[in-house]
Amino acid sequence: MIITQLSVFLENRSGRLTEVTDIFSENQINISALSIAETADYGVLRMIVDKPEIAVRVLKKNDLSVHTTEVVAVITPDIPGALNKVIKYLSEEEINIAYMYGYSHENKASIIMKVNNPQKAVEILQNKKIELISASDFYEI
Amino acid sequence: MIWNEYYECMDREKMREVQGKRLCDTVDRVYHNVPFYRKKMQTMGLEPGDIKGIDDITKLPFTTKQDLRDNYPFGLFAVPKSEVVRVHASSGTTGKPTVVGYSRKDIYTFSEVVARSLNSSGATRNDIVQIAYGYGLFTGGLGLHYGAEKIGATVIPISGGNTQKQLQLMQDFGSTVIACTPSYALYLSEAMEEAGISPETLSLKAGIFGAEPWTEEMRQNIEQSLNIKAYDIYGLSEIIGPGVANECDYQCGLHIWEDHFVPETIDTDTLQPSKKGCIGELVFTTITKEALPLLRYRTRDLTRLDDTKCECGRTAVRMEKCTGRSDDMLIIRGVNVFPSQVESVLLEIGETKPHYLLIVDREGALDTLEIWVEVDDYYFSDEIGKLEGLSNRIKHAVESVLGISIKIKLVEPKTIQRSEGKAQRIIDKRKA
């Protein structure tokens, strides 16, 4: 239930993002989820892709700084209070969320979270019957 | 105005005699009191008796900044510590500063040469001198202070920074002379314009600017915007501090007070004296200093010497305004910065690649330093907070070593150009 997320360091100037998407398209890598955190000078591109190991290799080959992080992905109904419930379960057990990103589509919302203890977060959420997305849903096996 | 006509206008042959006698005395003292010099001279097969006159100066060993560092803090002092009445220090490469010491007589000499420099810049006992050089370990503030008191001027020891107060006192006290770095002078002129103060309403007539190289264009800019005459003062703490040389009214080179400091220029490849009138690295031998006498100290500043008599009446040899360096030292806001200082901080922190680039620029009148550092895969974090933390840690560590504020920019790996020879570590946009 733990998913590998890729983070890429990108300078904040035009053309940087296309370099990554070019590399992925050449190597037939599909992006399932993506978010960018930015500062004045640089950004961190966070992605879930279908072939994380290959992706890391090709990014490094192209001199990009890439880092892998374990994240947790949940599915909630697209209704008020659904996210609130998930976060409460985690905070009750003192799990901290560093950042999260998500979207909703067809009455369901998918949320990707970076927490300080992903293993424990998975257990808590499974006990509370929260639907989790497994790695195999993202990766090509 | 000439403060000490006897020495400043001395016949050149007579000056060489004075220098020769003082040099012999200095060599004798360092040989017997400074193990570093004794060893160096012995290795070269030199004895104090081999130095008979000023022409023998070329037989003597050189001294470098590294020698001062190697003998940190007091290893090159030639007097017992009880004779040292003051120390100054400048920032160093590995956190260790370069330390210089003064005996009571050295402080007297320091005041004397600054007095000559002030007079040469038109300042007299009737002037109000606002000293906006930093007071403290830096030689600028106290150096100018003692010289200005010596000529009997009224001193405003305001020190550096605090621009609003500088302007207020300038107006209220009627300062006639300002002493600071040339870039701060430009900054003051901008601040004046913003505050709606017209330079014509002030009493300022002259500025004594040093501690960093500045161009003729900058001089014109300062002279126009502050409505003053701008004089260049040269010095370095190793030799004594500001006041080793100063321009006169004719602004055609800086007169070196050579009855105290003997200048030479050398070819940096052969280390032989450069041809008369040709550019070379400026080398000084102090011939009156007691606490820290230095033989042939390599300043790394490039200039040429002119010993023809000046229209002002002085015979003291003139050095051309320094325009370059024979090493990679940068002078940023009056502070000496070596790229190696940044490198050692990065290696110590160890969380980035050791590739870096210093970008020096000038925003308005103030120098800025931005340091590009390549992110390392291993330490790169997906959390912005951690990256910001890293760049803040680097910023604080570098600032504490350099003593000036800087900006850190994290860049992607391989952004900084690699070179097989000497790495390009500096982009100085101020020269453009």
Q: What ipTM describes this predicted complex?
A: 0.78
Residue A59 φ then ψ, to 5°? -65, -45
Verify that B359 and B270 share a domain, yes or no.
no
Q: Shortest Cα distance from A36 to chain B (angstroms)?
A: 10
Indicate which of A42, A71, A115 best probes the interface with B, i.e. most B CBs within 10 Å of its own CB: A42
Verify that B284 and B340 share a domain, yes or no.
no
**CATH 1.10.620.20 is right for the domain spanning A70-138:** no
Verify that B320 and B343 share a domain, yes or no.
no
CATH of domain A2-68: 3.30.2130.10
For residue B92, the model assigns a pLDDT of: 54
Q: Domain with B243 in it: what CATH number?
A: 3.40.50.12780
Chain A residues in contact with B380 by the CB 8 A cut-off are: 7, 9, 65-67
In this predicted structure, the answer to whether residue B377 has a pLDDT above a threshold of 90 is no
> One fold for both A2-68 and A70-138?
yes
Mean pLDDT, chain A, integer: 92
DSSP category for residue B366: E
Verify that B101 and B167 share a domain, yes or no.
yes
Verify that B270 and B393 share a domain, yes or no.
no
Residues 20 through 39 of chain A touching chain B, CB cutoff 8 Å = 37, 39
- Residue B279's domain comprises 5-327
Beta bridge mates, B154: B128
Verify that B318 and B382 share a domain, yes or no.
no
Q: Does A11 touch chain B (CB under 8 A)?
A: yes
Per-residue CA distances from B25 to B31, B53, B125 (Å): 10, 10, 34
DSSP category for residue B200: G
Verify that B299 and B348 share a domain, yes or no.
no
DSSP category for residue B63: B
Give mean pLDDT, residues B307-320.
Answer: 96
Verify that B349 and B322 share a domain, yes or no.
no
Indicate yes or no: CB of A64 within 8 angstroms of CB of B409.
Answer: no
For residue B130, the model assigns a pLDDT of: 98
For residue B366, the model assigns a pLDDT of: 84
Indicate the pLDDT class of residue A141, thresholds 50, 70 and 90.
very low
In this predicted structure, the answer to whether residue A75 has a pLDDT above a threshold of 90 is yes
Pick from B306, B327, B348: which residue ends a domain?
B327
Verify that B181 and B242 share a domain, yes or no.
yes
For residue B414, the model assigns a pLDDT of: 81
In this predicted structure, the answer to whether residue B118 has a pLDDT above a threshold of 60 is yes
Q: Classify strands A2-11 and A31-38 as parallel, antiparallel or unpaired.
A: unpaired
Mean pLDDT, chain B, integer: 92
Verify that B245 and B387 share a domain, yes or no.
no
Pick from B281, B311, B327: which residue ends a domain?
B327
Indicate yes or no: CB of B382 within 8 angstroms of CB of A39.
Answer: no
Verify that B62 and B97 share a domain, yes or no.
yes
Chain A residues in contact with B414 by the CB 8 A cut-off are: 63
The structural domains of chain A, with segments of one domain joined by +, span 2-68, 70-138
Q: Shortest Cα distance from A104 to chain B (angstroms)?
A: 24
Question: What is the three-class DSSP state of B306?
Answer: strand
Pick from B311, B327, B343: which residue ends a domain?
B327
Q: Domain with B351 in it: what CATH number?
A: 3.30.300.30
Domain count, chain B: 2
Indicate the pLDDT class of residue B355, thresholds 50, 70 and 90.
confident
Verify that B321 and B344 share a domain, yes or no.
no
Of the ranges B83-87, B202-206, B349-353, which one carries the lowest mean pLDDT score?
B349-353
In this predicted structure, the answer to whether residue B95 has a pLDDT above a threshold of 80 is no
Residue of A nearest to B382 (CA): A7
pLDDT, tens only, B15-41: 999 999 999 999 999 999 999 999 999
B321-329 long-range contacts, Cβ below 8 Å, gap at least 24?
B321/B213, B321/B214, B321/B216, B321/B232, B321/B253, B321/B254, B322/B213, B322/B234, B322/B282, B323/B213, B323/B215, B324/B213, B325/B300, B325/B301, B326/B268, B326/B281, B326/B300, B326/B301, B326/B302, B327/B300, B328/B425, B328/B426, B329/B300
Indicate which of B377, B378, B382, B409 best probes the interface with A, i.e. most A CBs within 10 Å of its own CB: B382
